[in-house]
Amino acid sequence: MKHRLAFLLLFAIFHFSLFTFHSLAQVPVYLDQTKDIEARVEDALARMTLAEKIDVIHAQSKFSSAGVKRLGLPDFWTDDGPHGVRPDVLWDEWEQAGQTNDSCVAFPALTCLAATWNPMLSAEYGHALGEEALYRGKSMILGPGINIYRTPLGGRNFEYMGEDPYLTSRMVVPYVQGLQSVGVASCVKHYCLNNEEEYRHKVNVIVSDRALHEIYLPGFEAAVKEGKAWGVMGAYNLYKDEHNCHNQYTLNKILKQDWGFDGVVVSDWGGAHDLDQAVKNGLDMEFGTWTNGLSEGASNAYDMYYLSKQYQKAILEGKYTTKELDEKVRRVLRTFFRTTMNKQKPYGFLCSEEHYQTARLVAQQGIVLLQNEGDVLPIEPQGKKILVVGENAIKMMTVGGGSSSLKVQHEISPLQGLQERLKNTDCQIEYARGYVGDTSGNYNGVTTGQNLKDDRSPEELIAEAVEKAKTADYVIIFGGLNKSDYQDSEGHDRKTMDLPYGQDNLIKALATANKNTIYVNISGNAVSMPWKKQVPAIVQGWFLGSEAGTALADILTGDANPCGKLPFTWHESLEQVGAHSFGEAAFPGIWRGGEKKIIDEEYKEGIFVGYRWTDKQKLKPTFAFGHGLSYTTFKVSNLRSEFDETADGNMTFKVDVTNTGSRPGCDVVQLYITDVKCSVERPVKELKAFQKVTLKPGETQTVTLTTDKRALSFWDEQTDNWKAEPGEFIAWVGDASDRLTCKVKFKLQ
Ligand code: BGC
C-alpha cells in the first residue's frame, strides 16, 4: 500500500524527471551516458554500420529485435499486452518456452478499466503492469488497445476502452504514463480503424474525415500528445488503400507530422506487405510471423522481412539512400535509451501483493450494476442458501482470446470467490452447471488444467438447476461469453448478439423458478437479453483477471458498493446499431472484384457511433452509455457556470452531488455538450468531462468540471481542422447519458 501511494504521489512528476538525470555510475564502454537522449541517439547512429542499422529495425524472434552488441546496446524485448505480460514463447515458434517465472497477474480487461471511469486507477494499472514487464525483461508492452467499439460483434472489443473517444482519451493517457514511468514503452494499438476482426488483413476502411478525427483518432492523439507514448502499433487493415502499418496519410502525415510523435511505429505481427511502402510510409520496426501475412514460415524468415536483407540490398544498389533508414534507426535508438538503456529504471516485481490489490480494485470499480429491481442485491447471506449456476462461475477466463491470453499465478473463479467470502458464515452454497460451453481450456500451449467436461444434455442441465433453484434463497447465474473463437476473441467477430450455448433458456427457466435470480454477465461486449424483465438483478462482470471471483464477491455481498459505468451503449439488438443499419457495405464490407483480396467497409453511420446513433434515431437501448447503479442513491443538482458566455471556449461548471442513500459510495458525474445550431449535423450530445466522487451517506460535494474549445468543436472537412462555431451550447450534467438531471446554456462568442 505504501508503495502504491508513493507511486501515485510521484506519478505526476516522475516521468518528467526520469530521463533528464543520468547517473555516471554505470557508463557502458562505448556510449556516453552524460549526453541527453538526442545526443546519445546521434552518437550511436554515427557509429553504426549499415548491417547494424538494418538489424535493429526488424524482428529477430517472435517478440524481440536485435540491439547492437558492439556498442553495448542490448536486444529489445516486447510482449503482449494489454492485460498482463504474456508468457514467453519459443524463439521462433508460438509454442510455450516452458519458463517457470512467467506466471503473471492478470489485470481486468481494458473494457473493465474503462468502466471504472477512474483515470487514477488507470495510472496505477499501467504502473503495476510496467513492474511486471520489468521483472520479465520486457522493454515494450504491446498495449493498450484503444480501437473504438463500433459494433457489439467486435471480437476484440474486450481489449479496448469502449465507444467514446473522450472517455478513451482520458483513460489511455494515465495508462501510458503509468507504464512508461517505470521505463517500459507502451505500444498503443491498433492504429487505426481496426474495428473488425473477421477480415482484419483485408478490410479497407472508408470513413469520412469527420468520423476519423472525431471518433476514431482522439484516443490515439491523446496517447501521443498528452501521454507521450513511445510506441504505436500500425493496424492490419487498410485505409485509403494502404495497409496501416505503412500508410502515408495516417503515419507520416497525421501521427508523425501533425501530432509530432517521436517514438517508434511497430508493425502489427505480419502487417507489412510492401518494401517501398515499408521504407517510405512511416513504419519503423517490422515484427511478425514470417513474411507474407501470417501464413508461411521459412527457416531464415527474419532475413526475408521487408525491412531486412531486401532493404539492405536495395540501399546498396542505390534504390534508396539511408535517409529513411536513419530516421527509423533514430526512433529505435530513442526507444532504447528510454527503456533498455535507461539506468534510472526501478526494479520489477512479478505478482506482488500490490499488483493483486490493483487488479482487485480495478475489477471492483469496473463491475457495473445494470439492474437491481426490488434491491435483490446485495445479497444477505445469513442463514441463506445460494445456488450458483453456470459455466462461467468456474471457468478460467485468462487463457484464450488471442494475443492477450495469459498464464497466471492464480485466477479466482466467481464460485471460489463466493465460497471464500462466505466460508465462515452459516450460508450454504450449491453449484449447478446449467449449460456447457467451451470446455477446451488451452491457448498456445497454456492449459487451464480444468476438466470442464460434462456430457449431460441441455435439458438435463436445466432441469437440475431449476430443481435446486426452487429451494434456494438466491440464484446467481454466471453466464455470458468466453474467449473462444467467434466470441470475445481475436481473429473473428461474433456472428450474433445472442448468448451462446442455450443460455437464454436456462436464464428464463431459473427466473421463473426463483424470484431472487441474479444474472452476472461475463463478456467484453453487450449481449441481447430477451429475459431482462424477468430477471431482477443484472451485473456486468467483464473479464476480470486474477481477482475475478474476489471482486465479484465484494460486489455481490455489498462489501464494495458498485460504481462502474458502461463505456458503451448496451443496444437491445443489432438493429439499434449504426454500423448495422446500412447493410453489408457498412459491416463487414463488400469484396472488391472476384479475387477476395480487399473488402471495402464503409462506415456509413459516420460520426454516429454508440449513443450518438441511438440519440439521433431516438432509440432506447437496453442500458445507456454511462449507466451504472449503486447500492446507494445520488442526486446531481444545482449546475452553474460562472459566465454564460465564453470567448476562448474555456468553461468551468460546478455541480452538487449528494449521496441520498444509506451507504458510502462513488458516483461518476458526467458532462455532455450539445451544439444548439451548427452548419453541420452534430450529435445530440457528446461526453466532454467527467469526475468520479466518493461520498458518505448524506454528504454533498461540489464537483468542478471544465471544458475547452475542442469540446465545442467539430472536425471541419473544408479547412481540415477543428472548428467551433459561435452561438449557443447546452451543458448537461448527470450520472448517466440517459440521466442528465441538470442543464445550463452558454454562448461561444
Ligand atoms: C495482434 C496484436 C499483438 C500481436 C503480437 C497480433 O496478431 O493483432 O495485438 O500484439 O499479434 O502477439
Annotated domain spans of the chain: 6-35, 36-338, 367-562, 632-748
Is domain 632-748 in CATH 3.90.1150.10, yes or no?
A: no
CATH class of 367-562: alpha beta
C-alpha to C-alpha distance for 264 and 233, rounded to whole angstroms: 8
The full length of the chain comes to: 749
Residues 554-557: contacts with CB under 8 Å, at least 24 apart? 554/360, 554/364, 554/421, 555/364, 555/367, 555/369, 555/378, 556/377, 556/378, 556/379, 556/418, 556/476, 556/518, 556/520, 557/378, 557/379, 557/381, 557/418, 557/421, 557/422
pLDDT band, very low/low/confident/very high, at 243 (cuts 50, 70, 90): very high
CB of 269 shorter than 6 A to ligand 1: yes
The H-or-E segment that residue 601 falls in is strand 599-602
Q: Are strands 140-141 and 185-191 parallel, antiparallel or unpaired?
A: parallel
Mean pLDDT, residues 163-190? 98
CB of 80 shorter than 6 A to ligand 1: yes
The SS3 assignment for 191 reads strand
pLDDT band, very low/low/confident/very high, at 300 (cuts 50, 70, 90): confident
| pLDDT over 60 at 43, yes or no | yes
**Residues β-bridged to residue 613:** none
Q: Please state the pTM of the whole predicted model.
A: 0.95
| pLDDT over 80 at 11, yes or no | no
Residue 618: which residues within 8 A CB-CB, separation 6 or more?
Answer: none
Grid coordinates in use for 207?
A: 470513413
**What is the percentage of the chain residues whose pLDDT exceeds 90?**
91
**Residues β-bridged to residue 405:** none
**Residues β-bridged to residue 428:** 385
The pLDDT tens digits of the residues spanning 432-473 come to 999 999 999 999 999 999 999 999 999 999 999 999 999 999
CB 524 within 8 A of CB 159: yes
Grid coordinates in use for 614?
A: 441511438
CB of 670 shorter than 6 A to ligand 1: no
- Residue among 55, 75, 102, 268 flagged as catalytic: 268
Q: What is the pLDDT at residue 594?
A: 86
137-141, 299-303, 371-375, 574-578: the lowest-pLDDT one = 299-303
pLDDT band, very low/low/confident/very high, at 638 (cuts 50, 70, 90): very high
pLDDT band, very low/low/confident/very high, at 298 (cuts 50, 70, 90): low
Grid coordinates in use for 471?
A: 429451494
C-alpha to C-alpha distance for 29 and 523, rounded to whole angstroms: 51
Which residue has a Cα nearest atom 4 of ligand 1?
269
Q: What is the pLDDT at residue 165?
A: 98
CB of 561 shorter than 6 A to ligand 1: no
Q: What is the pLDDT at residue 350?
A: 97
Check if 268 is active-site. yes
C-alpha to C-alpha distance for 540 and 546, rounded to whole angstroms: 17
- 36-338 and 367-562: identical CATH topology: no
pLDDT band, very low/low/confident/very high, at 348 (cuts 50, 70, 90): very high
Using most ligand atoms within 8 A of CB, pick from 78, 80, 83 the residue to mutate for ligand 1: 80
Residue 102 CA to ligand 1 centre (angstroms): 19
**Residues β-bridged to residue 602:** 206
Q: How many CB atoms lie within 10 A of CB 72?
A: 14
Q: What is the pLDDT at residue 19?
A: 32
Closest CA to 116 of 357, 356, 360, 367: 367
| pLDDT over 80 at 294, yes or no | no
CB of 81 shorter than 6 A to ligand 1: yes
| pLDDT over 60 at 293, yes or no | no
CB 724 within 8 A of CB 748: yes
What is the number of the ligand 1 atom nearest to the C-alpha of 159? 9
Mean pLDDT, residues 341-353? 94
Which residue has a Cα nearest atom 12 of ligand 1?
403
pLDDT band, very low/low/confident/very high, at 708 (cuts 50, 70, 90): very high
Closest CA to 94 of 289, 285, 265, 286: 289
C-alpha to C-alpha distance for 64 and 75, rounded to whole angstroms: 7
- Per the prediction, the chain carries an average pLDDT of 94
CB 325 within 8 A of CB 286: no
Closest CA to 80 of 528, 591, 475, 444: 444
What is the number of the ligand 1 atom nearest to the C-alpha of 145? 9
| pLDDT over 70 at 27, yes or no | no
The pLDDT tens digits of the residues spanning 586-621 come to 999 999 988 889 999 999 999 999 999 999 999 999
Chain centroid offset of residue 470 CA = 40
C-alpha to C-alpha distance for 587 and 589, rounded to whole angstroms: 5
CB of 287 shorter than 6 A to ligand 1: no
What does the buried/exposed string (b/e) look like for 602-618 if buried means 16 or more CB atoms within 10 Å of the residue's CB?
bbbbbbbbbbbbbbbee
Q: What is the pLDDT at residue 326?
A: 98
Half-sphere exposure (Cβ direction) of 354: Cα atoms closer than 13 Å = 21
C-alpha to C-alpha distance for 560 and 58, rounded to whole angstroms: 47
Residue 328 CA to ligand 1 centre (angstroms): 21
Q: How many CB atoms lie within 10 A of CB 97?
A: 13
> Dmax of the chain from CA atoms?
82
**Residues β-bridged to residue 184:** none
Q: What is the pLDDT at residue 92?
A: 84
CB 182 within 8 A of CB 131: yes
Q: What is the pLDDT at residue 3?
A: 54
32-46, 54-68, 477-491: the lowest-pLDDT one = 32-46
Closest CA to 225 of 184, 177, 284: 177
Grid coordinates in use for 77?
A: 524485448
C-alpha to C-alpha distance for 115 and 137, rounded to whole angstroms: 30
pLDDT band, very low/low/confident/very high, at 10 (cuts 50, 70, 90): low
CB 552 within 8 A of CB 367: yes
CATH class of 36-338: alpha beta
CA R_g for the chain = 26
Q: What is the pLDDT at residue 295?
A: 53
Q: From residue 580, give the alpha-carbon distance in Å to each of 35, 164, 199, 480, 623.
A: 55, 18, 16, 22, 18
CB of 268 shorter than 6 A to ligand 1: yes
Q: From residue 147, give the alpha-carbon distance in Å to each of 234, 279, 497, 729.
A: 12, 26, 19, 29
CB of 685 shorter than 6 A to ligand 1: no
Using most ligand atoms within 8 A of CB, pick from 90, 268, 290 the residue to mutate for ligand 1: 268
Q: How many CB atoms lie within 10 A of CB 144?
A: 32
Using most ligand atoms within 8 A of CB, pick from 96, 198, 490 the residue to mutate for ligand 1: 490
* Torsion sign, CA atoms 234, 237, 243, 249: negative
C-alpha to C-alpha distance for 498 and 253, rounded to whole angstroms: 41
Grid coordinates in use for 420?
A: 471464500
DSSP, res 679: S
Angle at 663 between CA 658 and CA 665, to 5 degrees: 60
C-alpha to C-alpha distance for 691 and 656, rounded to whole angstroms: 12
What does the buried/exposed string (b/e) look like for 320-343 if buried means 16 or more CB atoms within 10 Å of the residue's CB?
beeebbeebbbbbbbbbbbbbbbe
CB of 200 shorter than 6 A to ligand 1: no
Mean pLDDT, residues 205-225? 98
Q: What is the pLDDT at residue 296?
A: 58
Beta strands in 73-202 (DSSP E): 76-79, 140-141, 185-191
The SS3 assignment for 642 reads coil
Closest CA to 481 of 610, 390, 414, 587: 390
The pLDDT tens digits of the residues spanning 650-660 come to 999 999 999 99
